[in-house]
Amino acid sequence: MKKFKLNKFNKQQAIYGILFMMPWFIGFIIFGLYPMIMSVYYSLCRYDVLRIPQFIGFGNYQKLIFEDPYFWTSISNTLIYTILRVPLCIIGSLLLAVLVNNAVKGVKVFRTIYFIPSIVTGVVLSVVWLWMFNPQFGLINSFLAYMGIPGPLWLLDPNWSKPSMVLMSVWSIGGGRMLVFLAALQGIPKHLYEAVDIDGGGWWAKFRNVTIPMLSPIIFLWTVLEIIFSLQVFVEAYIMTQGGPLNSTMFYNLYLYNKAFNDFEMGYASALAWLLLIISLIITVIQFWLSKRWVHYDGGAK
Amino acid sequence: MKQIIKIVLGLAALTAMGLFLFLPDSKPPDDGKIRLRYWMVSALRELPFHVTEFNRTHQNIIVESTPLPWNEHEKKILTSILSENPPDVVFLVTPVAKWATRLALTPLDDFIKRDSFDSSIFFSALWDEMKSKDHIYALPLYSNSYAFFYNKRLFREAGLDPEKPPKTWDEVLQYSSKLTKKDAKGNFIQMGFIPTYGNIQTSIILAWELGAQMLLNDGTRVSLTNKPTLDAFNWIANFYNQYNLKDISTFVAGFGFAEQHGFISEKLGMMILDNSFPDQIKLYNKNLEYGVADIPTFEGHPPVSSTGSWWLAIPRGAKNIEAAWQFMKFAVQKNIQLTEAERQKELLFPANKLAANDPAFLSLNPANKIFVDMIEHSKTPTVIPLAHDVFWREYMGAQEKVIHKMQTPMEALSQAEKTIQMVLNETIDYDNYVRSKVSVN
């Protein structure tokens, strides 16, 4: 084996590099790595922060999976929310991007208008939508009543509460996701569309055979990201419903928060956090495996 | 090599400067006075009277009070105790036991013994809450009390005698149906009584009146499937058999705070409300003609109400324990509480029995007499001290399942009982473990 050797100059450079990295590295160890390692340990303990931890092995995990009904409720709520929300977000943003990709007059104004709502933060958004969903005075039900349709109770009805929150995310389809799709759309070479024209294909053939395959890496990326974001849904439920009605919006992170900061069960909450990481990892690995079938990279490269 | 040393020294100097910049300027002016850090959960704009008066009358101690936002107060106090830099006195409302069992508070037994502090000045329901495992951890400062409010104008319109509020829960049901009105489309525009609207849970009042004991065997066994609690839940279920849940939910969703409160906006004829409402009504709807009465009960049972307290305590690791005790003792005195109640009317109800029964306090509001009576009949909402949050989450969850007709009272309550029992067992187990490892006073 050839020994790797640095000359004097490179050595000096390396030392400088490491030195300049140190402030970040020390910060990462103290505020990132150390808490992470400790949370693995605490997840194996009973621990309420104010008192010493009591080691109980895998007791927390065992209790979560086999005894705690809220764990499964929160998982199914979160998965239903994810399954409903992710397609809506991806398809919505993609269609909007295709729409504002047309070179019509004033398209830049439209792009800006569609982007603006996504600047609003989650808390503000939740408070606004809380009023929109009000069954008596809310904008949506007032409009429905005007059309002669009796509106549902939205957030107050256990069957409608999750769809309501999914509906809220329509608000953000014009945001960063749309911009990335738009940039990718503009990167698709014109000659591919011309080829479809020559073959006599219409807009659908272009969309189906050129746009979608060319965008597939971006669609894949956003699907992975959005699923992770959706699994971590918290603010909407925390502000609007606190998990109700009938625990229908008791999402995973809300349950974790309640355990940690209302009941002070930090050990149990740590176990919840690690399980969520494992679930997210499994879902992401499955997606990467499935992606081989439908994601096309330029020139066949991986 | 020299350069490296230079860089290392430079970085060290920068870090030191940075630390220096962010280091709090914690050194108080050296005038020999004790500065008492007092953290209170409060939305008051001005300093409370017990602080200003203490500062005026004590030369050697200065109380510096800091208001805490409601949503974050528990976390702030928690971190201050963990970082061994807690305030000297805290003012809190969550159960004393929640903090005391976690060794977050300093026991006051020695002070109480030394000064022969008389605890009989407090309402007994409030004083009982200050205890945990035979130690006293806090002093109650304020409390709240509930009474039964009814709208006299709506009573007259419905053909009911405005001077005769319902005395029993059966009468409440009868009156309620007379007070309920619907519009042409079948939506409620006025209702008599809604047992699930408001801060206080009607169902637990019902259960207490019927004699429910929810914690048995010296605090180790949870009981929700007892007959009184089941009967109370059946009463609630029966109410929702008479009225459609969806219609009630739509109606209640139109309520809000202040002017939009269900009772203040005169959309609700009867309601159990706390002692802040006479002032709120004066502020937001002064034309509202209302009466205040004892909370109704069942035939042959005494009325029961609920009361909790806002309390003062010394966190673990506080620096000025002696001064903190002086301040706490000062704040709960009769004359301080009386003046405070007169000056800051909203939300304050003295925990000091002598102040609450004083003619000066009773004359502030004609309803105060009833509030004082009700507090004497009160139980604490801290039903299971060691599993308080879980208890209420499960209890409310069970009630929700019953009113949505998803489960019978028996099914819902036995499920809740099982979950609370599981948490309680673990809490006791953890507590025993900690006590076996750490010496606890």
Top mean-pLDDT range of B231-235, B336-340, B353-357: B231-235
Is B422 an interface residue toward A (CB < 8 Å)? yes
In the structure encoding, which two tokens stand for residue B165, read together? 């509020």
Q: How far apart are CA B266 and CA B285, in angstroms?
A: 9
Mutation choice for B interface testing from A54, A56, A70, A133 by most B CBs within 10 A: A54
Q: What angle do CA B399, B405, B406 make, to 5 degrees?
A: 85
Q: How far is CA B138 from CA B106, B307, B386, B431, in A?
A: 9, 16, 17, 20
Q: How far apart are CA A124 and CA A117, in angstroms?
A: 11
- The pLDDT value recorded for residue B346 is 62
Q: Would you say the CATH fold of B146-304+384-428 matches that of B33-144+307-379? A: yes
Q: How far is CA A110 from CA A169, A186, B317, in A?
A: 19, 17, 60
For residue A153, the chain B residues in CB contact (below 8 A) are 246, 249-250, 253
Buried/exposed code over B127-164 (b: 16+ C-beta within 10 A; e: otherwise): bebbebeeebbbbbbbbbbbbbbbbbebbeebebebee
Strand partners, B136: B131
How does DSSP assign A11-75, residue by residue? HHHHHHHHHHHHHHHHHHIIIIIHHHHHHHHHTTEE--SSS--EE-TTHHHHHHHHT-HHHHHHH
Chain A: residue whose CA lies nearest to B249: A156
- Rounded mean pLDDT of chain A? 90
What value does the mean pLDDT take over residues B73-87? 90
Looking at the predicted structure, is the pLDDT value of residue B184 above 80?
yes
Phi and psi angles of residue A67, each rounded to the nearest 5 degrees, phi first = -120, -30
Is A136 an interface residue toward B (CB < 8 Å)? yes
| Domain locations along chain B | 33-144+307-379, 146-304+384-428
What value does the mean pLDDT take over residues B402-420? 95
In contact, B318 and B111? CB cutoff 8 Å: no
Q: How far apart are CA B434 and CA A301, in angstroms?
A: 59
- The pLDDT value recorded for residue B26 is 58
- ipTM of predicted complex: 0.84
- The pLDDT value recorded for residue A1 is 53
Reported as a pLDDT band with limits 50, 70 and 90, residue B395 is very high
Looking at the predicted structure, is the pLDDT value of residue A278 above 90?
yes
Residues 6 or more apart in contact with residue A243 via CB below 8 angstroms: A237, A249, A250, A251, A254, A255, A258
Chain B: residue whose CA lies nearest to A151: B250
3-state helix, strand, coil split of chain B in percent (to 5) is 45, 15, 35
Reported as a pLDDT band with limits 50, 70 and 90, residue B27 is low
- The pLDDT value recorded for residue A97 is 92
Is A19 an interface residue toward B (CB < 8 Å)? yes
How does DSSP assign B257-280, residue by residue? SGGGSTTTTT-BSEEEEETTHHHH
Domain B146-304+384-428 belongs to what topology?
A: D-Maltodextrin-Binding Protein; domain 2 (3.40.190)
CATH 2.60.120.10 fits A61-294, yes or no: no
Q: Are A46 and B430 in contact (CB < 8 Å)?
A: yes
pLDDT in tens, A163-179: 999 998 888 888 889 99
Reported as a pLDDT band with limits 50, 70 and 90, residue B6 is confident
Higher pLDDT, A117 or B333: B333
pLDDT in tens, A52-93: 999 999 999 999 999 998 999 999 999 999 999 999 999 999
- Among A49, A134, A153, the residue with its CB nearest the CB of B82 is A49
Mutation choice for A interface testing from B1, B8, B433, B438 by most A CBs within 10 A: B433
Q: Which of A81-90, A167-176, B56-65, B259-268 has the lowest mean pLDDT?
A: A167-176
- Among A12, A54, A247, the residue with its CB nearest the CB of B433 is A54
- The pLDDT value recorded for residue A302 is 42
- The pLDDT value recorded for residue B287 is 93
Is A196 an interface residue toward B (CB < 8 Å)? no
Chain B: residue whose CA lies nearest to A45: B430
How does DSSP assign B375-401, residue by residue? HHTEE-S-SSGGGHHHHHHHHHHHHHH
Is A158 an interface residue toward B (CB < 8 Å)? yes
pLDDT in tens, A209-254: 899 999 999 999 999 999 999 999 999 999 999 888 999 999 999 9
CATH 3.40.228.10 fits B33-144+307-379, yes or no: no
- The share of chain B scoring above pLDDT 70, in percent, equals 95
Strand partners, B226: none
Q: How far apart are CA A125 and CA A73, in angstroms?
A: 25
- The pLDDT value recorded for residue A301 is 44
In contact, B45 and B280? CB cutoff 8 Å: no
Reported as a pLDDT band with limits 50, 70 and 90, residue B187 is confident
Peptide bond into A213 cis (omega under 30): no
Q: Angle at which helices A69-100 and A161-168 pack, to 10 degrees?
A: 30
Looking at the predicted structure, is the pLDDT value of residue B5 above 70?
yes
What length does chain B have?
A: 441
Looking at the predicted structure, is the pLDDT value of residue B342 above 90?
no
Is A22 an interface residue toward B (CB < 8 Å)? yes
B418 burial type by CB count under 10 A (0-12 exposed, 13-18 middle, 19+ buried)? middle
Residues 6 or more apart in contact with residue B145 via CB below 8 angstroms: B274, B275, B305, B307, B349, B371, B372, B374, B375, B378
Q: Residue A270 corresponds to which amino acid?
A: S
Reported as a pLDDT band with limits 50, 70 and 90, residue B365 is confident
For residue B74, the chain A residues in CB contact (below 8 A) are 261
Taking only Cα atoms into account, the Rg of chain A, rounded to an integer number of angstroms, comes to 25
Longest dimension (CA), chain A: 82
For residue B190, the chain A residues in CB contact (below 8 A) are none
Q: Are A50 and B104 in contact (CB < 8 Å)?
A: yes
In contact, B213 and B226? CB cutoff 8 Å: yes
Q: Residue B19 corresponds to which amino acid?
A: L
- The share of chain A scoring above pLDDT 90, in percent, equals 53
Q: How far apart are CA B27 and CA A156, in angstroms?
A: 53
